[in-house]
Structure 1
Amino acid sequence: MADEKASAPSMLSKDKEAGSANYVEDTPIYNADVDVTQVDEKKLLRKLDLYLIPWLSLLYLLSFLDRTSVGNAKLYHLEEDLGLSDDQYLICLTVFFFSYAIFEVPSNVFLKRLRPSIWLSALMFFWGIMMTVQGLVHNYGGLLGMRWMLGMFEAGLFPGVNYYLSCWYKRSEFGIRAAVFFSAATVSGAFGGLLAAAISNMDGVGGKPGWAWIFILEGLATVVAGVLSFWIIQDFPDNAKFLTEAERTVVIRRLQSDDQFSAAGEKLQWKYIWMSLMDWKTWIGMMIYAGSDMPIYAFSLFLPSIIQQLGYKATPANLLSVPVYAAACIVTCGVGFFADKWGRRGMFNIIFLSIGAAGYIILVVSKNAAVSYFAVYLAACGIYPVIPNSIAWVSNNVEGSYKRSVSIGMVIGFGNINGAVSSNVYRAKDKPWYPMGHGLVLMYIGIGLIFSVVYMFFLIRENRRRERGERDESIGDSTDGDEKNGHFLTVADAKREKGDDWSGYRYTL
């Protein structure tokens, strides 16, 4: 049954035990006149998962497949047929990341302003077209232009869906959902190798080479998914059509009880965007995410080539990537589950980035194919879980719908700018062991490790200050609190105006 907090006439704000001595007023409850006693929360969560996660995961599988399939296409003579030099190929990979990063924050703001069913569906439809046309190009300029357009339209999906999911689940429930959604990337890595190997057999059909058919068929699948998404993707909780009024009410009350005060709705104001830009957590989160995002792109773009250089031909190289991604998928979901359960996202980052670092240290020093292939598993299982865990960590510590949308967009966007670096570190002249590429990836992992520790330190310090009452606001006529922390008529006003800066808010470590 819905919990007592959800069905009571009001939700109590944080009290003295939460470290906020002056909070004596109640926060008005959402839809106080709606009876939610018949709503079973466990069944409701299962319903949310069923309607939201599978389709969104499929969309991300298609997204990651579309952006990384160029690595598989390269094995089937893409460079030779288009007359590309190694530098031109790397530029085509790089340009994707610039357009991808530039449009992520604006896209997240539009997602909040518009209906997700319209915005996300339109983005998918158009990037599917770009992907299809990528298979019709005849020269360097054509491929370069299509990669830019592909990045522009794909930019909204990953940050958009992570922000969107954060609007449905409690902070302690978001990590596993983000991990399952992101695990589609590992599935696409495995599936992409199998699919590319199969499609390559169409070489010569319709006068098109095998690599062109990889782009065309995968692009058409995305176009179809984009059309279907208009009817399948749900909008935000307060107007989701698949929920009853009582269920919508419970979803929003659950979020508000989890210190997501803006769950019932928030009007766009420039101050929310400014709050994100001025928040130290945004900037440290950007460095943490870059520490795993550059490595993951380098890994996904060049894994087939790395395996090929260990002595395998194109199709075996693609097939040998499958078990690597399968292992990463399992580990990613496991980390998402336990990080939600134990709430120690920072420690999971530190542990798994260390595992990834160990894998790349082996890759740097090894000259043995079997040892290097083993190290690839360590690298994948160390890097992949950190991506959704870092996003959940940042999301957990930002309150305010628009502020969170901008923060997530900035974090992921900055990571993808650094993803552009990954396109240029595995040079043909460094074959077969790519020491410079592995070394730079290892450097980025070190950056992720350092800033994860820094983030944990400052979160712990801030939580302790709030527990000591150093951040308490002055509320109403109360003599408690400190005017320098702000004076508000009610606790609800303090929550609404300050978001995660409210002294009753506790950061997730």
Structure 2
Amino acid sequence: MATKTLAYQPGHETASDGDVESVSKPVDLHEAIKPTWKGRIWDTFDLPRDERRLLFKVDALILTFASLGYFLKNLDQSNINNAFLSGMQEDLGMYGNELVTAVSIWTVGYVIGQIPSNLLLTRVSPRYVIPALEFGWGIATLGSYGVKSYKALYALRFLVGLFESGFYPGIHYLLGGWYTPREIGKRAMIFWLAGSLGSMFSGFLQAAAYTNLSGVHGLAGWRWLFIIDAIITLPIALFGFFFLPGLPLQDKKEWWLTEEENELAIARLKRIGRAGRRPWTRARIKELFSTWHIYILPLQYVIWNNGGIQQPMGYYLKSFNKKPAPVPGRHYTVPQINNLPLVATGIFIVVSLFYAWLSDGPLKGRRWPFMYIGAFFLLGIAIPLRIIPLYENIEAHFALYWLTSAASGAGPLILAWINEINQHDTEKRALLVAMGNDLAYVVQAVGPNFYWKTT
């Protein structure tokens, strides 16, 4: 299903509910704007000069903050595992199930916070809420360096999860408050991939911090991990307070926009039917829960998020080192076990960007093809993986494991679609983006205990 991108037609405006004007004779922007080869590369090349200037500013500030913030969110989320392996286990006496408990407590905070945080964005400017969340998890991360017991660590991990919870759905909601359907897919994908890079590089960054700072000022290396992460995180949060924009349809003009640019930003959203805030009433709540969107769209994201093949290559490589060896003479070192699966990450990044550019461009805003492509591609990978004996045709296993990531690029496009299909109701848009990510994370956290066991 494609979402229509509507062009503004002067002289055809009528009043409608809320703060938005409707357009009685809309035109699909994918048809109205004929793309050039430069526009296929980056959509702003096909826009008028004033609109290009506006989007240059918005891209520079939103994408910079969002990408750095998501990179750091993943860094601060995963640092407990690096700290545990770097001496925290011994210092805090975590010899039982304490690490699993700490991760579970983080998950509780993360699940609790997402929906309230996103709904708050419909009433308080994202310019204040989202940087405040990042500042909060930065302070909680900093506090983790000084813990004397794992119980104190539990409390701080809950706060890290709670503050981090609103960042990912909040940024997607913010993207939906600035960009049209011919633009949002690419931006959502760039933001999402920044987090993937954060996960990939977090181990390298934290290993370097541990190696070079262990024992400095009498602090164990694992304590420095939390300090370094906080030192990186807090300035980005402060950057957000000054530069991250609110929503044009409901917040004050940003100081870095001219009056003309602010009016243009509002006009861009009105001409595609994007809505501003509306008051909560009993009738509105009833209306919200009577639509199919609230039951189907989050479920769609949950299925996508949890339907992929668990990245198994590292476990596969490590299994060759068992005794007795399943394949005599074949052995993989620790660097090989860590580095060979990174080929899949490279494939994932390239294919995901291709999906986004194709969706925003030649497919004219259609998001659904990539849900089907991912599903059929996964079947095409899973079936031969199930049929081929585990230790025969090892090169084929490598290729199949690497290609599993090529089916995983639809996630940001699904959230972009949720933004677009609910563009006439900003509260529902905020709720459903958060619901999809929240419920997906619940299943992702609980499900592997039953169907992805690594014993």
Normalization by structure 2: what TM-score? 0.76
Q: Which residue of 2 aligns with 1:386?
A: 410
Q: Secondary structure at the match of 1:389?
A: helix
CA apart distance, 1:9: 4.0
Q: Which residue of 2 aligns with 1:257?
A: 271
- Change beyond 3 A, Cα 1:382–1:101: same
Select the residue among 37, 49, 53 that pairs with 2:59.
49
Q: Name structure 2 gaps, 5 residues minimum.
A: 1-5, 14-21, 29-46, 322-331
Q: Secondary structure at the match of 1:234?
A: coil
CA apart distance, 1:217: 1.2
Q: Which residue of 1 aligns with 2:426?
A: 401
Alignment of 1:179-218 (within 5 A): 179-201=189-211, 202-218=213-229
Instruction: Provide the rounded CA distance (Å) in 2 between the counterparts of 1:78 and 1:426.
Output: 30
Instruction: Provide the rounded CA distance (Å) in 1 between the counterparts of 2:445 and 2:400.
Output: 24
Q: Which residue of 1 aligns with 2:390?
A: 366
The reply on whether 1:245 has 2:255 as its aligned counterpart is no
CA-atom RMSD, angstroms? 3.6
Q: Which residue of 2 aligns with 1:419?
A: 444
Asked whether the 8 Å contact 1:175–1:388 carries over to 2, the reply is yes
The reply on whether 1:344 has 2:366 as its aligned counterpart is yes
Q: Secondary structure at the match of 2:147?
A: coil
Instruction: Provide the rounded CA distance (Å) in 2 between the counterparts of 1:273 and 1:112.
Output: 15
CA apart distance, 1:273: 4.8
Q: Which residue of 2 aligns with 1:333?
A: 353
Q: Which residue of 1 aligns with 2:324?
A: none
- Change beyond 3 A, Cα 1:229–1:5: closer
- Change beyond 3 A, Cα 1:376–1:146: farther
Letter of the structure 2 residue corresponding to residue 346 of structure 1? W
The reply on whether 1:288 has 2:308 as its aligned counterpart is no
Asked whether the 8 Å contact 2:65–2:236 carries over to 1, the reply is no
Asked whether the 8 Å contact 2:141–2:156 carries over to 1, the reply is yes
Q: Name structure 1 gaps, 5 residues minimum.
A: 19-36, 436-509
Select the residue among 213, 218, 230 that pairs with 2:241.
230
Alignment of 1:51-200 (within 5 A): 51-76=61-86, 78-79=88-89, 81-84=91-94, 87-200=97-210
CA apart distance, 1:411: 1.4
CA apart distance, 1:41: 2.7
Deviations 1:202-236 (A, max 9, x none): 44444444444333311221122212221121122
Normalization by structure 1: what TM-score? 0.69
Asked whether the 8 Å contact 1:130–1:146 carries over to 2, the reply is yes
Asked whether the 8 Å contact 1:298–1:422 carries over to 2, the reply is no
CA apart distance, 1:56: 1.3
Q: Which residue of 2 aligns with 1:487?
A: none
- Change beyond 3 A, Cα 1:16–1:417: closer
Asked whether the 8 Å contact 1:178–1:388 carries over to 2, the reply is yes
Q: Secondary structure at the match of 1:188?
A: helix
Letter of the structure 1 residue corresponding to residue 271 of structure 2? S
Same amino acid, percent of matched pairs:
25
Q: Secondary structure at the match of 2:182?
A: helix
Alignment of 1:270-309 (within 5 A): 271-294=283-306
Q: Secondary structure at the match of 1:230?
A: helix
Letter of the structure 1 residue corresponding to residue 303 of structure 2? G
- Change beyond 3 A, Cα 1:89–1:193: same
- Change beyond 3 A, Cα 1:5–1:329: closer
Deviations 1:426-480 (A, max 9, x none): 98xx6xxx37xxxxxxxxxxxxxxxxxxxxxxxxxxxxxxxxxxxxxxxxxxxxx
Asked whether the 8 Å contact 2:12–2:23 carries over to 1, the reply is no
Asked whether the 8 Å contact 2:144–2:156 carries over to 1, the reply is yes
